[in-house]
Chains A and B, each alone.
Chain A
Amino acid sequence: MDAPWIAELRALLGPRGIVEDPTRLFPYEADGIVLLRRRPELVLLPRTTEQVSRALKILHRERVPVVARGAGTGLSGGATPVEGGVVVSLARMRDVLELDAVDRTARVQAGLVNIDLSLACSKHQLFYAPDPSSQQACTLGGNIAENSGGPHCFRYGNTTQHVLGLVIVLEDGTVLDLSEPRVDPLGYDLVGLFVGSEGMFGIATELVLKLLPKPATTETLLAIFESLDAACDATSDLIRARHEPSAIEILDKLTIQAVEASVYAAGYPKTAEAVLLLDIEGSEVEVANTVAGIEPLVRARGAIEVRTAKTELERKQLWAGRKGAFGAMGRIAPDLYVADVCVPRTKLRELVAHTTRIAREKNLKLATVFHAGDGNLHPNIAYDRRDADEVRRVLEAGDEIMHLCIEAGGSLSGEHGVGLEKMKAMEWLFTREDLATMCRVREAWDPDRRMNPGKLIPIRACLETKQAVFRPEHATGAAKARDER
């Protein structure tokens, strides 16, 4: 391609701000889900909001589709390039612009890596709460696009609860500054609307985020179980008894084995069928009481051992092990399909039984990790993308799991977003009216549907919106079932 608009972008961004060489574009063809691939025409690496704005003006004029990308760690295909499209990577926009330890806010560029914000404010005894497992790599902008969660979101809530303001570049290059004033939004809560919009409303370039004081005491507790069901039951028990850990995670046996073979080996017993990993935060007394309350409960459910981390290092290792679980699965197979479904907590056990059955029927290797507190389940299926039949079975299993989840009153995604991967399942969960409303909201932001096109909302649903055809009787069984409830 050597169109004049590319020359314009080149002049705007400089030689290191634009990737044109097909070989260098090649690794951009996928994000964290390598099953979905398409090589972009160009990748832009701007450094400032101004550059993003000017680049988007050019792309608007030329009607070029745009896909924003953070670190490319997303697992739903949110950053998978689209046909004829340009990728705008925020990887070089990673400055902390302001840090106010008294107001407890930070203004950062969207490409800042999640963990780097917590490191930057650590000396003020503050931290940024949402902690996706990929926090060592994923960008805060990407977290906003997907409304990411993380183990500690059980207590602190997902990303949306921590965003105070945004600077957004709209599809035509207009800069929308929603970063001041930093109080409850007046008028429509555009920031709230933007979080979780999966790159379809514009590109957030600067974020104003809420920082929290580090808890006075944190105790990490590891309970070891001989059955996965028991670990699920224990979770419900301790919530029923109103013990409030800040994170409740479960790892199954295969996951434990993969982690223990890696650099993140945390000392989880390799023979255990499941471990329950809890963080308990608060004042010293509070924490001691909660731990004392939890221990007998988990033992009653059959925990064969309950340990607390003796040192800060051990505590960190227990968590690093959990967070390295996805990557550690690389030891088991070349690729990993990470399903991300949510059910009411009390249904966890039921869903686990189903996923295990499905994997067995389809002869797939399944390892499960849960953000159990949120009822968020990640059945991880190891596969090899070179094996077409295995890929087919993996995708079928993914669909079945999503169906079961909807039947159990759950949702399609806990934190990874819909992207390309779960797009068709949107029709299983939502009625035409639901989807049509989403389409209209989207078109208010992006009338040409040029931002991250072809994701999240099935195209059919959007086309039908145009014709204003609403036929509720066509809604699928699952959606009806939901309506009836």
Chain B
Amino acid sequence: MSLADPKTLVEYTATLDCIHCGLCLRTCPTFQLTGNEASSPRGRIYLMRGVAEGQIAGDDPTYHDELEFCLVCRNCESVCPAGVRFGEMMEVARDRAANSVKRPWSEALARWIGFGLVLPNRALMRWSIDLLGFAQRSGLLRRVAPLFGARKDALLAFPAVPPKSERELLPIRTPARGEERGEVTVLEGCVMPEMFGRVNLATVETLSAIGFATRTCGSHACCGALHAHNGELDGARALAKNTIVAFEGLTSSDGVPLPVIVNSAGCGAHMKEYPRLLAEEPEWRARAQAFSKRVFDFSEFVAAHAPADWAPRVDPGTFGRVTYDDPCHLCHGQQIRKPPRELLKRVHGLQHVELPHSEQCCGSAGIYSMLRPSDSNAVFEPKLADLAETRADTLVTANPGCHMQWDMGLDRTGLDVRVVHLAEVLAEASRQARSTPTEPSKHEPAELATPRLHEPKAEVR
């Protein structure tokens, strides 16, 4: 492997798509931080090309550091006129880099445990989070944290593990409220049920409120997104195949495969790209394509399928002023920007303000906040000032990584802003709409959504 043709270490032909125009520079969080060309998308592509053309050694430590410094937020892809698929190039380069350098044993072990064992296995994940929760509550974490060196602070800042009652798995099947308009499956995810069980519940509740019955996929846990982003492409491919197989079995009564609703932007972006991931395996290509067509982000699906008479509403005191922070893998990875905003605007009584620079990365970037805590914090910092400017009471996100990053960041600074997933807002608004119908009518059962009386007035700046 080490003597391999350097052109195989990166996606060489993709590096040629970059015409060096520089439009990506200003969007890149690590370039903003350093002003260093090598820490920009254009610079990293230049380095990759240098590796392929033999000007930089494949095991050059600086090259590897630049690969790992990148957050893979893919903001550059949103502005690239040449259509460079930077995220994909990074995944490949990181994967090959993983093969060409020897990691310290502790790191190799941690990766093996994390990627190989915990993420794909629901029981082990649960046990690990139990352990973390115990360590947090007993004060043990404080004692062992120094063993983790530079990652000590990140570990200590990790959000509190929720109580057992919030860590329930979803029911296998949840019926629609009122008349059933369709059936979907929901990806429960690996970390989601443990840290954000309430978001999974809210997802199902919202889908139910708009007339969709939901099913879950049994023991399936991990889609492999974190593996792919962190250069574990073999693991990612295996998990992709698992996922495809698991969801192929979920069909409607007449055999039509059900849509797969994903409330985690990183997972959704990755699952939509399975055909690319499995492109070299002809026997999987068609299955990957068929599967990826079934994948929808939660906001994408709800915005497209909510019935016209669905009228979510909240008491203005529930969330106060809300603002929405685009998860990178939703806006840049899936080019989904409008649906979450449309849905927030649809909630009567909600005051929505735009967050400046909402498409800039928050520094969470999957497990980046654990791997490079100080860089992650530096990327996050300007986001806080932007949030303060909105004077919002609630920050809405649509991805667990961002959710935790905001939780941790706000905790650190003491800013009194609540962080919720879009699904939590919509579920609560559906609930309040049911319990306090604006115009209760005798022939309408209370649990059915009430017709909206007038357009909510969202604040537009």
Give me the interface of A with B, judged by CB distance under 8 Å.
16, 19, 21, 23-28, 30, 32, 34, 43, 45, 71-73, 89, 91-92, 94, 111, 113, 115-116, 134, 136-138, 259, 261-264, 324-331, 334-336, 384
1/0 contact string of B19-51 vs chain A (CB within 8 Å): 111111110000100111110101100110010
Residues on A with beta carbons closer than 8 Å to the beta carbon of B34: 16, 45, 92
Given A261-B83, A328-B82, A334-B16, A28:B37 Cβ within 8 A: yes
Contact (Cβ within 8 A) B16 A327: no
Interface residue? B84 (CB, 8 A): yes
Q: Which of B17, B34, B35, B83 has most chain A Cβ within 10 Å?
A: B35
Apart from the given pairs A27-B46, A327-B82, 14 other A-B contacts in the complex at a CB distance below 8 Å: A23-B60, A71-B22, A72-B22, A91-B36, A91-B37, A111-B35, A115-B26, A134-B22, A136-B23, A261-B83, A262-B83, A264-B81, A328-B82, A331-B82
User: In the complex, how many angstroms separate the beta carbon of A260 from the nearest chain B beta carbon?
Assistant: 11
Q: Give 5 CB contacts A-B under 8 Å.
A: A24-B37, A24-B38, A24-B62, A111-B35, A328-B82
Residues on A with beta carbons closer than 8 Å to the beta carbon of B22: 32, 71-73, 134, 137-138
Given A23-B62, A92-B35, A32:B81 Cβ within 8 A: no
Which residue from A21, A45, A325 sits with its C-beta under 8 Å from B81?
A325
Interface size class of B (residues with CB under 8 A): 35 or more
Residues on B with beta carbons closer than 8 Å to the beta carbon of A73: 21-22
Interface residue? B79 (CB, 8 A): yes
User: In the complex, how many angstroms separate the beta carbon of B158 from the nearest chain A beta carbon?
Assistant: 28
User: In the complex, how many angstroms separate the beta carbon of A250 from the nearest chain B beta carbon?
Assistant: 18
CA–CA, A32 to B43, complex, Å?
A: 12
Instruction: Please provide the chain B residues from 61 to 104 with a CB less than 8 Å away from any CB of chain A in the complex.
Output: 62-63, 66, 78-84
Contact (Cβ within 8 A) B81 A27: no
Residues on A with beta carbons closer than 8 Å to the beta carbon of B435: none
Residues on A with beta carbons closer than 8 Å to the beta carbon of B79: 136, 263
User: In this complex, what residue of A is CB-closest to B25?
Assistant: A137
Main secondary structure on B side of the interface with A: loop
CA–CA, A138 to B62, complex, Å?
A: 26
Given A19-B38, A89-B35, A137-B26, A336:B19 Cβ within 8 A: yes
User: In the complex, how many angstroms separate the beta carbon of B31 from the nearest chain A beta carbon?
Assistant: 8
Contact (Cβ within 8 A) A263 B19: no
Residues on B with beta carbons closer than 8 Å to the beta carbon of A137: 21-26
CA–CA, A72 to B16, complex, Å?
A: 18
Interface residue? B56 (CB, 8 A): yes
User: In the complex, how many angstroms separate the beta carbon of B67 from the nearest chain A beta carbon?
Assistant: 11
Interface residue? B265 (CB, 8 A): no
Residues on B with beta carbons closer than 8 Å to the beta carbon of A259: 81
Given A21-B62, A263-B80, A336-B19, A91:B38 Cβ within 8 A: no
Contact (Cβ within 8 A) B38 A23: yes
Contact (Cβ within 8 A) A45 B21: no
Contact (Cβ within 8 A) A26 B18: no
Contact (Cβ within 8 A) B81 A326: yes
Residues on B with beta carbons closer than 8 Å to the beta carbon of A24: 36-38, 62, 66
User: In the complex, how many angstroms separate the beta carbon of B374 from the nearest chain A beta carbon?
Assistant: 12
User: In this complex, what residue of A is CB-closest to B61?
Assistant: A23
CA–CA, A94 to B62, complex, Å?
A: 26
User: In the complex, how many angstroms separate the beta carbon of B33 from the nearest chain A beta carbon?
Assistant: 9
User: In the complex, how many angstroms separate the beta carbon of B338 from the nearest chain A beta carbon?
Assistant: 12
Interface residue? B438 (CB, 8 A): no
User: In this complex, what residue of B is CB-closest to A137?
Assistant: B22
Interface residue? B436 (CB, 8 A): no
Contact (Cβ within 8 A) B21 A326: yes
User: In this complex, what residue of B is CB-closest to A115?
Assistant: B26
User: In the complex, how many angstroms separate the beta carbon of B333 from the nearest chain A beta carbon?
Assistant: 13
Interface residue? B2 (CB, 8 A): no
Contact (Cβ within 8 A) B19 A335: yes
User: In the complex, how many angstroms separate the beta carbon of B201 from the nearest chain A beta carbon?
Assistant: 36
CA–CA, A421 to B84, complex, Å?
A: 27
Q: Which of A25, A26, A94, A334 has most chain B Cβ within 10 Å?
A: A26
Interface residue? B318 (CB, 8 A): no
User: In this complex, what residue of A is CB-closest to B82?
Assistant: A330
CA–CA, A89 to B78, complex, Å?
A: 26
Contact (Cβ within 8 A) B78 A45: no
CA–CA, A459 to B37, complex, Å?
A: 30
CA–CA, A336 to B16, complex, Å?
A: 11
Interface residue? B55 (CB, 8 A): yes
User: In this complex, what residue of A is CB-closest to B64?
Assistant: A23
User: In this complex, what residue of B is CB-closest to A321?
Assistant: B81
User: In the complex, how many angstroms separate the beta carbon of B10 from the nearest chain A beta carbon?
Assistant: 14
User: In this complex, what residue of A is CB-closest to B78?
Assistant: A263
User: In this complex, what residue of A is CB-closest to B55?
Assistant: A26
CA–CA, A72 to B60, complex, Å?
A: 24
CA–CA, A21 to B34, complex, Å?
A: 15
User: In this complex, what residue of B is CB-closest to A329?
Assistant: B19
Given A27-B43, A137-B25, A327:B19 Cβ within 8 A: yes
Residues on B with beta carbons closer than 8 Å to the beta carbon of A264: 81
Residues on A with beta carbons closer than 8 Å to the beta carbon of B37: 24, 27-28, 43, 72, 89, 91
CA–CA, A71 to B31, complex, Å?
A: 11
User: In the complex, how many angstroms separate the beta carbon of A45 from the nearest chain B beta carbon?
Assistant: 5
Contact (Cβ within 8 A) A330 B47: no
User: In the complex, how many angstroms separate the beta carbon of B109 from the nearest chain A beta carbon?
Assistant: 28
CA–CA, A331 to B34, complex, Å?
A: 29
Q: Which of B17, B19, B34, B47 has most chain A Cβ within 10 Å?
A: B19
Residues on B with beta carbons closer than 8 Å to the beta carbon of A27: 37-38, 40, 42-43, 46-47
Residues on A with beta carbons closer than 8 Å to the beta carbon of B35: 45, 89, 91-92, 94, 111
Residues on A with beta carbons closer than 8 Å to the beta carbon of B36: 16, 19, 24, 43, 45, 91
Instruction: Please provide the chain B residues from 93 to 145 with a CB less than 8 Å away from any CB of chain A in the complex.
Output: none
Contact (Cβ within 8 A) B50 A26: yes
A-B pairs, top 8 by smallest CB distance, nearest first, are: A330-B82, A327-B81, A91-B35, A330-B19, A324-B81, A327-B21, A23-B62, A92-B35
CA–CA, A164 to B17, complex, Å?
A: 40
1/0 contact string of B415-438 vs chain A (CB within 8 Å): 000000000000000000000000
Q: Which of B25, B55, B81, B83 has most chain A Cβ within 10 Å?
A: B81
User: In the complex, how many angstroms separate the beta carbon of B13 from the nearest chain A beta carbon?
Assistant: 9
Given A45-B36, A92-B35, A263-B80, A32:B21 Cβ within 8 A: yes
